[in-house]
Structure 1
Amino acid sequence: MVRDFCLIWDFPAGDFRFRFVFLLLVGIACSFTGFAQKINDDYRLQIKRASSPIIIDGKVEEKAWKDAEVASDFYMILPMDTSYSQVDTDVMMTYDDERLYLLVINYHAVPGPYYVESLRRDFSFGKNDNFLLFMDTFDDQTNGFSFGANAAGAQWDGIMYEGGKVDLSWDNKWVSKVRNYDDRWVFEAAIPFKSIRYKKGIKEWGINFSRLDLKTTEKSSWAPVPRQFPSASLAYTGILVWDEAPPEAGMNVSIIPYVMGGSVKNHEGGTPTDYQNRVGVDAKIAVSSSLNLDLTVNPDFSQVEVDRQITNLDRFELFFPERRQFFLENGDLFANFGYETIRPFFSRRIGLNAPIQFGARLSGKINRDWRIGAMNMQTGLVEETATPAQNFTVMSAQRRVGQRSNIAAIFVNKTNVGQMPARNGTDTAPLTQYNRNIGLEYNLASSNNLWTGKALFLKSFSPNQSGESMVHAANLRYSSGNLTWEWKHEYVSPRYTAEVGYVPRNGYYRINPSAAYLFFPKSKKILRHGPTVNTSLFYNMDREQTDNITELGYTVRFRSQSNLTAKYTYNRILLQQAFDPTNFSGDTLAAFTDHTWSAVGMEYVSKPQSLFTYTVSSQYGGYFAQGERFNLAGELGYRFQPYVGLSMTGNYNQIDLPEPWGNTRFWLVGPRVDVTFTNTLFFTAFAQYNEQIDNINLNTRFQWRFKPASDLYLVFTDNYLPAPFYVKNRTLALKFTYWWTL
């Protein structure tokens, strides 16, 4: 299949660098087609049906566990990947008709308490003693699921994509228990087959187990993983061998209704309080064991935590990730097409300024080689802002090529439907405006994960569109134990538009090479250190350079897991349009003015084992218009583990420019408190004072998970004008959700 593909691909018109990188990508893929056997094929764990009922209580008492095969003798990943782990871990698995069971005994290597942040779900991996399970349930080394817990019992679950990334926004129904002893902590879990997706009939799943022990600063895994890769890398999974094919989940339908009541008061606008009462429902229907249909009617996302504000000194739109649960399962089929700044689809465009009325999403695998995704969402008309009703359609297909690579295609359509009020509020006019995107990309992932890359082509269509409206881009990355290098090329034409995507910049060519080299000394203090270099060169349509951003750095990682980084940055910017360098004053620099400066900076991240943790970074140097900029940022944290976490983030900018700007100084400060009464009862409160936009935001959220995946939320949000201090707007929401499985 790969070799046929190598012969039939028809290149898009464009820069020769795209063709060169693409041919190199496919050539590497072709060279790996003969490697059919998995790297860790010899690591096999037999799983057989449970010989007795199992109670999830963290006790190793059931006969089923005495009869189960044990996975032990873990390999060290960090600080070195050349020996067995010094921390012992035993893992057992079994199953019945409805659930997959997991039991883990995490022995202590040295005495002393465990380290955790809190009891909050989906904890930060590097700040907690934890155990994680990674399952390649499709046996494709690309997609799967992750489950785990920290030593205090906080759960971790996520959906896996791109061979080793985990999206922790995905939540599902499962139960677990952690019990602590003097010499070990035991993690026991039951995962319903209805909560995961898997290929029907296969008797071998990819699987690996990961352990992080902060007392010894050791990360380990059952099947060995090279230290340059995360333990989640599906290319290095062993094999879970079933005594018979996993049971079919049977009828797998989940109904998730919600009831929400609340109020919105706009004090700034002087409007009456808007009392809101909403009812809606989501449904999850398993079309097959690996293909899922999601439905939603009148969805509400009031429980989603507000975005963290940042100081914005950028010339282009900022990116904030999707947090809404409906868009997350198999979200990579839609959202990961393209690059960080070239996304033909970005789900946060849907429902941004208009309510979602209903939607449907079909996604998953239809066989070993094919994954598909189809989404349709309908939003309502908003008369106050003259926003029409809109329909969004996204379709995606992904075909595996070779062992871990794939070809993917996407179609995105946004259409205004019906009629909308004219701007004067009296007349109506029919609307036919639309924006469409089609795209094709090839994703490379070698069998050993040393080589990765991508080549993509996009084309947009809109009414009365003139001029070229396309994108082509490619990258190739090599990651060994010591050396990492990457070549990346992008071209975005001036007329390319992605109204349902995220493409903040148009009309440029970009060349972006980078490299890093790591030394691993025989030292009791330093784990690794080495230099990095990254250059980003932008050119306009006449091939004239407009941006040169070059960064040289040196990073030292200590065995305590703390980090120290020093860097030097060179900037040369030829502005293509007028720009306010403070994003605050309203005064702008003229387009086509040339600006050059350099800056130096340092960052230190403290070791995660301490109850008191901190991060501090600083940067000083030039700025636009021969000015100067000083930045100081950091975060302080203290935890009363495992129940209370306190933190304070701060960001200070001092910008000195000629008139009319003069000296500009602004703070962004954000205190936060996290209280986890239990692993099902949470309270969070944080404030954000943003001097740049003259706003204070206060957000508090109470969550009670009274049953798995069923919640009660109470959310309170305020925005204030700092001086004179008064409320701009206030929102209160009480939401109840219940996950009902048929």
Structure 2
Amino acid sequence: MKKLVFFFILLSSIGIFAQKKTMQAQVTSQNIVIDGKLNEPIWETATTASNFVTYEPDNGKPEPENQKTTIKILYDNDAIYIGAMMYDDEPHKILKEISQRDNFGTADLFGVFINGFNDGQQDFMFYVSAADVQGDCIMTDANGEDYSWDAVWISKAAITEKGWIVEIKIPYSALRFSAENKQTWGINFFREVKRTRYKYTWNFVDNKLGTFTQQTGALEGIENIKPPTRLFFMPYASYYLNAGDGQKTYGTMKGGMDIKYGINDAFTVDAILIPDFGQTKYDDQILNLGPFEQQFNENRAFFTEGTDLFNKGKMFYSRRIGGTPSVEPDLNDNEEIIETVQNVNLINALKLSGRTKGGLGIGILNAVTEKTFATIKDTVSGETRRTVVEPLTNYNVLVLDQRFRKNSSITFINTNVTRNGHYKDANVTGLAWDLNTKANTYSLFGNAKYSLINDLVDKKGFYSTVSFAETSGKYRYSVGTDFVTKDFDPNDLGINFYTNYYNFYGNANYRILNPTKLFNTFRINYNMYSEFNRESGKLQDNNLNANINLTTVKNNYYGGGVTFYPLLTYDYYEPRAENRYIAIPRRIESWASISTNYNYPFALDLNGTFNVFDETERISYGFDIGPRYRFSDKLLLTYFFSYFRRNNNKGYIDNFDEDDNENTPNKIIFANRNVITYSNTLSGKYAVNSAMTINLAVRQYWSYADNKDILDLQTDGSLTPYTQYTDNKNSSFYSWNADLSYSWWFAPGSQVSVLYRNNASNFERIIDKDFKDNVSRLLTNDALKHIFSISVKYFIDYNAVKNKIQKRA
């Protein structure tokens, strides 16, 4: 009998979880004070939403009785109000580390996810931690959570004897919804109890399905509201004081404005006038010995916020805009460059983005960079001249993304770079598709891209990829293939390293969907990959990989993997010459990783790698160690040390025409070298409160390549000794970056930022292996630069200003 009762309870539970929950919002005319108390009388009569369900790790299990969650929603003509009570029978154990916005640290969390069109396409997510820290993002199934998006809203969290409370006010200007009189929004609520790492949602989200945004509940009851005029101004003013040893100290003032305007209920225009990126995070430069440029993260807010549409098809690399000059100046005999720029100045930029009710997403981005010169000097006569290294340039991206059936899309993308005058132009067009079955169990993904470079000789290229995957259940798999022609070149506004190949790849994996007695999460992956040169058919890459990733019931992470390269392969990129290659021996690569539970004051990250080649004494190995200590809810320090060594690494150093005979193939010179890299990183955070933080970031980096033997690359890809080459091609690069910053969000959307920064870097051919001497010399020479800056930005909402004026009238 007990078994029968249990069976019916189980069936009832499954039925409830499969249903889309509905809750009612209640209109209010009362003034709601956002103070984390919920003491206005209207809260007592509002409808309550409850009965949360576990999302991770025990998916589908009801929330425990001692940690119930209740939600109430109110609305008026200006905003929606959320009141949430997170019960906890041990409120003294609630974790509440104070952190920066969008970085919740070690703290309990509450979130509300809103889709004003209720179409399962895109959620606006608003989070508040138990430490009263805000976070917000845009969520799509295709791109995940995009925390670069920031809205202006108000919240307050407070710890009580029964748990903790969150009160939120979200102005309609921060949302997107239709102009219909009766609104039905998609909505879900989220709670994370950090000390147990359990996550709950109000409407059940089944993790066996490959979608999150389509498993929301519904919010009804909102009537007779109108989408407001979404017009925001963000004026800013900044001051920079620059100094350096042996250099003149000077100060500069900057001012400008960002504008955001909602054309209608779906589309928004962002414009940046007189941009200022002076306080952008520095790039972590490395000693780059490879054939390709180093790829950097985008840290400029304009190019990260709300750019999910522009990232479709992976054709847009925003660092091209305002990046290094694209033109190499022609130097005559006895000439040298005495003055140039590292980055081209951005004149202005504009982007339009949004999605229609029918699911058509439209994105347009346009930016203009200024004409830039370098100064060249004749070392004999002393005369100087200026030459263009970057003409006036226009960058444009157009995206049309049609979604259908809530989980599939077909996308058209075009990127275009037009340079003034006779300089080269570039255009890339792509079509991408992401097709999923209605139940989100299988997907077909792919794209096709065509590039055209207009130069002295036009260049055309093609790239395509297609993959098929099972995306649900414990056992999943995927297979795919890529095809790339030799002249495919999207690099004027995108980034792509490898061309002229085709490949085949596959993956099979197993994961647990619910915790066991030992593990909260557990996943095993098996991968295979084969790549061939498109013209010669030679094998460029071939590997088999197996790895495991797991989290114990005590929330400690462990991972490890082994990759086998069982066949000789050929690298067509390292020689830096057409139709030349180097043979890469068979090898085995392995890694292991540990990350202890961050809930504890002390935690440790540890990673190690060990790689062995089928070549005498050629190995590489390294490790990272990262202890972190949380002294209090306000103070956190993290240190990270990295060491990596490559013994008997074979790499390109030079090429030339032997005896200046054009009929003789290029002589390509390699070196047998040891490459050693050290990196030290220290970061710290002290939070005065949830709106005011002091942050420290220090990075010291040193890497050198010590050439032992000079080698001649043969036409069959082998290397032979070459004693005639006598140039010193050793490499030593070391750098230092330090940032100390103060940030104060003194009003919603408004911030004061104070930054002190010093940095230096140096490249040498002579290797000084004294670590202490390297660092001290870098910090005491003329290369060390000091920058002190203050920036103030103020958020102005047109609606708020208009309402104040009307009230006064």
TM-score using structure 2 length: 0.79
Specify which of 26, 51, 57 is matched with residue 79 of structure 1: 57
Specify which of 316, 336, 345 is matched with residue 316 of structure 2: 345
Q: 1:651 Cα shift?
A: 1.3
Mapped contact 2:82–2:169 kept (Cα < 8 A): yes
Q: 1:112 Cα shift?
A: 4.0
Q: 1:300 Cα shift?
A: 1.0
Mapped contact 1:80–1:227 kept (Cα < 8 A): no
Q: 1:523 Cα shift?
A: 4.1
- For 2:493, what is the secondary structure of its paired residue? coil
What's the CA shift string for 1:316-342, capped at 9, x where partnerless? 44443333222344311112x22xxxx
Rounded to whole Å, the distance in 2 between the matches of 1:530 and 1:356 is: 45
What's the CA shift string for 1:412-458, capped at 9, x where partnerless? 111112xxxxxxxxxxxx33421011111112244443334422111
- Corresponding residue of 1:711: 751
Q: Does 1:48 align with 2:44?
A: no
Q: 1:110 Cα shift?
A: 4.5
Mapped contact 1:140–1:368 kept (Cα < 8 A): no
Q: Does 1:525 align with 2:528?
A: no
Rounded to whole Å, the distance in 2 between the matches of 1:142 and 1:291 is: 15
- For 1:724, what is the secondary structure of its paired residue? helix
- For 2:214, what is the secondary structure of its paired residue? helix
- Give the counterpart letter for 2:540 in structure 1: T
Rounded to whole Å, the distance in 1 between the matches of 2:514 and 2:428 is: 50
- For 1:536, what is the secondary structure of its paired residue? strand
Ranges in structure 2 where 5+ consecutive residues have no aligned partner: 1-15, 324-342, 375-387, 651-670, 704-732, 762-774, 799-809
Specify which of 771, 787, 803 is matched with residue 731 of structure 1: 787
- Corresponding residue of 2:150: 171
Specify which of 196, 199, 203 is matched with residue 183 of structure 2: 203
- Corresponding residue of 1:224: 204
- Corresponding residue of 2:406: 403
What's the CA shift string for 1:138-194, capped at 9, x where partnerless? 323222211011111111111223457111122221111000013301011111111
Rounded to whole Å, the distance in 2 between the matches of 1:122 and 1:492 is: 38
Q: What is the correspondence of 1:461-500 to structure 2 with a 5 Å cutoff?
A: 461-464=452-455, 468-498=460-490, 499-500=492-493
Specify which of 261, 278, 301 is matched with residue 325 of structure 1: 301
Q: Does 1:678 align with 2:672?
A: no
What's the CA shift string for 1:472-531, capped at 9, x where partnerless? 112233232412222232222211111101212222223221121024687433224342
- For 1:348, what is the secondary structure of its paired residue? helix
Specify which of 600, 622, 645 is matched with residue 631 of structure 1: 622
Rounded to whole Å, the distance in 2 between the matches of 1:167 and 1:197 is: 16
Would the alpha carbon gap of residues 312 and 257 (structure 1) be closer, same or farther in structure 2, given more than 3 Å must change?
A: same
- Corresponding residue of 2:723: none
Would the alpha carbon gap of residues 193 and 185 (structure 1) be closer, same or farther in structure 2, given more than 3 Å must change?
A: same
Rounded to whole Å, the distance in 1 between the matches of 2:489 and 2:447 is: 16
What's the CA shift string for 1:43-96, capped at 9, x where partnerless? 111113125221101112112221221111011122212321113111111111
Q: What is the correspondence of 1:631-670 to structure 2 with a 5 Å cutoff?
A: 631-657=622-648, 660-670=671-681
Of structures 1 and 2, the one with the larger relative CO (CA 8 A, separation 6+) is 1
Would the alpha carbon gap of residues 609 and 731 (structure 1) be closer, same or farther in structure 2, given more than 3 Å must change?
A: same
- Corresponding residue of 2:740: 700
Mapped contact 2:361–2:401 kept (Cα < 8 A): yes
- Corresponding residue of 2:706: none
- Give the counterpart letter for 1:563 in structure 2: Y
Rounded to whole Å, the distance in 2 between the matches of 1:451 and 1:566 is: 28
Instruction: Kindly report the root-mean-square deviation, in angstroms, between the aligned alpha carbons of the 2 structures.
Output: 2.6
Ranges in structure 1 where 5+ consecutive residues have no aligned partner: 1-37, 418-429, 581-589
- Corresponding residue of 2:109: 130
Mapped contact 2:87–2:164 kept (Cα < 8 A): yes
Would the alpha carbon gap of residues 128 and 309 (structure 1) be closer, same or farther in structure 2, given more than 3 Å must change?
A: farther
What's the CA shift string for 1:555-609, capped at 9, x where partnerless? 22212222111211123642113369xxxxxxxxx83222221022211111122
Rounded to whole Å, the distance in 2 between the matches of 1:391 and 1:452 is: 37
Mapped contact 1:653–1:665 kept (Cα < 8 A): yes
What's the CA shift string for 1:330-385, capped at 9, x where partnerless? 311112x22xxxx2212221112211111221111233321111121111122137
Q: 1:409 Cα shift?
A: 0.8
Rounded to whole Å, the distance in 1 between the matches of 2:230 and 2:488 is: 42
- Corresponding residue of 1:261: 239
Specify which of 343, 346, 359 is matched with residue 369 of structure 1: 359
Q: Does 1:394 align with 2:397?
A: yes
Q: What is the correspondence of 1:107-126 to structure 2 with a 5 Å cutoff?
A: 107-110=87-90, 112-124=92-104
- For 1:85, what is the secondary structure of its paired residue? coil
- Corresponding residue of 2:802: none
Would the alpha carbon gap of residues 736 and 675 (structure 1) be closer, same or farther in structure 2, given more than 3 Å must change?
A: same
Mapped contact 1:138–1:198 kept (Cα < 8 A): yes
Rounded to whole Å, the distance in 2 between the matches of 1:450 and 1:314 is: 40
Q: 1:703 Cα shift?
A: 1.1
Mapped contact 1:163–1:234 kept (Cα < 8 A): no
- Give the counterpart letter for 1:57 in structure 2: D
Would the alpha carbon gap of residues 322 and 361 (structure 1) be closer, same or farther in structure 2, given more than 3 Å must change?
A: same
Would the alpha carbon gap of residues 492 and 275 (structure 1) be closer, same or farther in structure 2, given more than 3 Å must change?
A: farther
- For 1:326, what is the secondary structure of its paired residue? helix
Mapped contact 1:40–1:238 kept (Cα < 8 A): no
- For 1:367, what is the secondary structure of its paired residue? coil
Would the alpha carbon gap of residues 116 and 715 (structure 1) be closer, same or farther in structure 2, given more than 3 Å must change?
A: same
Would the alpha carbon gap of residues 724 and 618 (structure 1) be closer, same or farther in structure 2, given more than 3 Å must change?
A: same
- Give the counterpart letter for 2:207 in structure 1: R
- Give the counterpart letter for 1:737 in structure 2: K
Mapped contact 1:118–1:645 kept (Cα < 8 A): no
- Corresponding residue of 1:304: 280
Rounded to whole Å, the distance in 2 between the matches of 1:244 and 1:522 is: 43
Rounded to whole Å, the distance in 2 between the matches of 1:205 and 1:630 is: 53
- For 1:53, what is the secondary structure of its paired residue? coil
Rounded to whole Å, the distance in 2 between the matches of 1:327 and 1:319 is: 16
- Corresponding residue of 2:571: 575
Would the alpha carbon gap of residues 111 and 171 (structure 1) be closer, same or farther in structure 2, given more than 3 Å must change?
A: closer
Aligned length: 674
Rounded to whole Å, the distance in 1 between the matches of 2:625 and 2:442 is: 35
Rounded to whole Å, the distance in 2 between the matches of 1:647 and 1:624 is: 38
- Corresponding residue of 1:689: 700
- Give the counterpart letter for 2:571 in structure 1: L
Mapped contact 1:75–1:224 kept (Cα < 8 A): yes
Deviates more, 1:502-511 or 1:67-76: 502-511
- Give the counterpart letter for 1:514 in structure 2: N
- Corresponding residue of 1:24: none
- For 2:497, what is the secondary structure of its paired residue? coil
- Corresponding residue of 2:120: 141
- Corresponding residue of 2:717: none
Rounded to whole Å, the distance in 2 between the matches of 1:92 and 1:234 is: 21
Higher Rg of the two aligned structures: 2
Q: Does 1:436 align with 2:427?
A: yes
Q: Does 1:509 align with 2:506?
A: no
Specify which of 307, 310, 313 is matched with residue 334 of structure 1: 310
Deviates more, 1:387-396 or 1:723-732: 723-732
Would the alpha carbon gap of residues 622 and 273 (structure 1) be closer, same or farther in structure 2, given more than 3 Å must change?
A: farther
Mapped contact 1:47–1:240 kept (Cα < 8 A): yes
Would the alpha carbon gap of residues 658 and 546 (structure 1) be closer, same or farther in structure 2, given more than 3 Å must change?
A: closer
TM-score using structure 1 length: 0.85
- Give the counterpart letter for 2:264 in structure 1: S
Q: 1:315 Cα shift?
A: 5.5
Mapped contact 2:139–2:213 kept (Cα < 8 A): no
Rounded to whole Å, the distance in 2 between the matches of 1:350 and 1:678 is: 36
Q: 1:41 Cα shift?
A: 5.3
